[in-house]
Amino acid sequence: MAVTPLNALLLLVAGSLTGVLGAILGIGGGVLLIPILVIGLDLPMHQAVATSIISVIATSTAVASTNVERGTANMRLGMTLEIATALGAIAGGLTAGRLDPRTLEGLFAIVLVPTAFLMWRGRTENSSVADHPPTVNPKKPSTDLGRLGASYHDPAAGGEVRYHVERLPLGLLISFVAGNLSGLLGIGGGVFKVPALHLLCRVPVKAAAATSNFMIGVTAVASAFLYYGRDELLPAVTAAVVLGVLLGSALGSVVNQYLGGKAVKRLFAVLLVAVAVQMIYRALRGA
Amino acid sequence: MPDDDSHWLQHWVHWTLLAGLAASAVLLTCGLAFMVGQGHEHAARHETLGMLCREAARFNGPAITTLGLLVLMITPIMRVIVLLLGWALRRDWLFAAVAFVVLGLLVLSLSLGVG
């Protein structure tokens, strides 16, 4: 794709739209960005995935810097799980290089369906803390947080929230799958990781979302080099999209105060299913 | 804040991420503006980092854009290095080792992709 002034503007708008919607819907950009690039702007699937991976690094870096300073991101847990996500991402990135674009589109469409389901149910990366009040696991006293446990200050919860981490092997397994999806399809995978960290590892939702986001940057980089090495990363296209996504995310966090309702999420869940159907059709037609 | 990660380490990670993001955003904005202004529609591949930096110093739009992307890609790696050093300084060898393994995986990915 040649970057003419018009194309640069289109890519900037596409990135901004993704950033705004991502902030409103509480999901990372990849799930929304890739259909826009592939169906809307006719970018080949592998190049769209590479673009998405870089934009995911940008948004993750921006959000993680805030979460780390606030103390909501659990850096020890995040780094431990990054072993699994990085391995998964490398495997995914290598696998993507062996798949033809239509197969990759079909796989992406299949992943969109559970994402839409989770969005319909309201379980996204930024599910409200009110929906899932933070709890300390009652099996152990709150003073014993273990090597991976942590605490953070949460005014909404009325003070300090302390937790320890359970079922680490399950967390590692889910992280490997999420990393694999990231390397293969260019999505952050937070929509799967956050519920898993919360429900299986008993990490409070706020900390789970912050830790998941903290991990995404390293996960995405683990596969980004593979796409870069295969010349599937288009610098100018990616630059325009990344700048758009960063602008859109900032705008989206403001718009979110007015449009963050359940109806909007359900509307986009239906839209995601429609996109999935179209991508499956394209994959079958091209097969 | 997490009990075992002192505030200075969080602070360093925060500033590492922020500095990387800011530097890449500036480079990407300038690079894209130069590309559009200079009429470059594609970014050429540079063989070495030295060549890329020399071209970027000559205000070559595609080179500046590529450099911006590399800075963005290196930012999470810098974050891993900061945590590795931070935990090592605190003699928290378990998590320093975990960070070292993650860094090793990223170097493996780099060598598989670019090496």
* C-alpha span between A159 and A136 (Å, rounded): 13
> Of A8, A71, A76, which is closest to B95 when you measure between CB atoms?
A76
Summarised one tens digit per residue, pLDDT across range B58-95 is: 888 889 999 999 999 999 999 999 999 999 999 999 99
Closest residue on chain B to A220 (Cα): B73
Q: At a CB cut-off of 8 Å and minimum separation 6, what does B12 contact?
A: B82, B86
**Minimal CA–CA distance to A198: which of A176, A166, A172, A173?**
A166
Task: Decide if A218 and B102 are in contact by the 8 Å CB cutoff.
Answer: yes
* C-alpha span between A191 and A170 (Å, rounded): 16
DSSP for A80-93, please give it.
HHHHHHHHHHHHHH
**Minimal CA–CA distance to B76: which of B49, B43, B110?**
B110
B110 part of contact set with chain A, CB < 8 Å? yes
- Express as a percent the part of chain A with pLDDT over 90: 36
Inform me whether the pLDDT recorded for A183 exceeds 70.
Answer: yes
Please give the average per-residue pLDDT across A16-34, as a whole number: 80
Give which of A69, A230, A237, A249 to mutate to test B binding, by max B Cβ within 10 Å: A69
Summarised one tens digit per residue, pLDDT across range A238-287 is: 999 999 999 988 887 777 666 656 777 777 788 888 888 888 888 888 65
- Taking contacts as CB-CB distances below 8 angstroms, the residues of chain A near B68 are 239
| pLDDT for position A240 | 94
Report the DSSP beta bridge partners of residue A154.
A159
* C-alpha span between A166 and A214 (Å, rounded): 19
Average predicted confidence (pLDDT) for chain A = 84
Please give the average per-residue pLDDT across A157-176, as a whole number: 89
B47 part of contact set with chain A, CB < 8 Å? no
Summarised one tens digit per residue, pLDDT across range B40-62 is: 766 666 778 888 899 899 888 88
B51 part of contact set with chain A, CB < 8 Å? no
Inform me whether the pLDDT recorded for A104 exceeds 60.
Answer: yes
ipTM of the complex model:
0.90
CA atoms within 13 A on the CB side of A155: 1
> Of A60, A145, A217, which is closest to B3 when you measure between CB atoms?
A145
Backbone angles phi, psi at A160, to 5 degrees: -85, 135
E strands, chain A, are 150-154, 159-163
User: The tokens of A47 are what?
Assistant: 């190049």
Sole residue written with tokens 């929230």: A161
Task: Decide if B42 and A152 are in contact by the 8 Å CB cutoff.
Answer: no
Task: Decide if B28 and A242 are in contact by the 8 Å CB cutoff.
Answer: yes
Interface of A with B in 120-149 (CB under 8 A): 145, 147, 149
User: Structure pTM?
Assistant: 0.88
Inform me whether the pLDDT recorded for A130 exceeds 70.
Answer: no
Between A127 and B78, residue with greater pLDDT: B78
